[in-house]
């Protein structure tokens, strides 16, 4: 985080909470703690402090308490402008952590591999390799049909 945000919010954890909520519009404590790899209790303490100060508001959904900016406060509008400015400066500076703060909005496609596998790292299965190690398959072919096509030679 930048020293400017730490000065405005009083400490590094509160600045991180503000940046995360600015990037994602709303969040819960465990998301923020895991994104910055800090303890959950530190994040919860800052969220409670910012809510008590009228900067954040929360709502409970099931067992989860979601926090977001208090849109009714004029002070919050000014704070958000400053946080957005600092966040954009971090992104433009190429800080890899700034981009990784955005949380996934939709679920991962079913069956999608979790890591990219290159053709060199994948054992030779007899199939031709496509882009980023994906197997070239004929449309509508099942694994059994594909195996017959490959080993029928």
Q: Say if residue 26's pLDDT is above 70.
A: yes
Q: Is the pTM of this model over 0.75?
A: no
Would you state the pLDDT for residue 101?
Answer: 67
Pick 84 or 145 by higher pLDDT.
84
55: nearest Cα among 68, 43, 45, 65: 68
Q: For domain 3-99, say whether CATH 3.50.50.60 is its number.
A: no
The band of 147, judged by pLDDT with boundaries at 50, 70 and 90, is very low
Strand order of the sheet with strand 64-69? 26-27, 64-69, 56-61
**CA dist., res. 91 & res. 88, Å (int):** 5
Which value, in Å, is the radius of gyration of the alpha carbons in the chain?
Answer: 23
**CA dist., res. 116 & res. 103, Å (int):** 20
Domains of the chain, residue spans: 3-99, 117-153
Determine whether 9 is exposed, middle or buried from the number of CB atoms within 10 Å of its CB (0-12, 13-18, 19+).
buried
Pick 111 or 114 by higher pLDDT.
111
30-74 pLDDT, tens per residue?
999 998 899 999 999 999 999 999 999 999 999 999 999 999 998
């Amino acid at each position: 985080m930048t020293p400017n945000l730490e000065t405005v919010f009083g400490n590094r954890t509160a600045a991180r909470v503000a940046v995360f909520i600015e990037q994602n519009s709303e969040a819960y404590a465990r998301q923020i703690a895991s994104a910055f790899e800090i303890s959950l209790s530190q994040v919860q303490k800052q969220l409670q402090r910012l809510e008590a100060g009228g900067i954040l508001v929360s709502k409970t959904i099931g067992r989860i308490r979601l926090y977001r900016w208090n849109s009714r406060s004029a002070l919050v509008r000014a704070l958000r402008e400053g946080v957005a400015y600092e966040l954009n400066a971090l992104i433009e500076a190429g800080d890899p952590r700034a981009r990784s703060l955005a949380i996934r909005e939709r679920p991962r496609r079913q069956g999608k591999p979790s890591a990219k596998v290159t053709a060199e790292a994948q054992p030779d299965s007899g199939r031709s390799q496509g882009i980023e190690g994906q197997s070239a398959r004929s449309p509508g072919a099942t694994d059994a049909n594909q195996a017959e096509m490959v080993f029928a030679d």
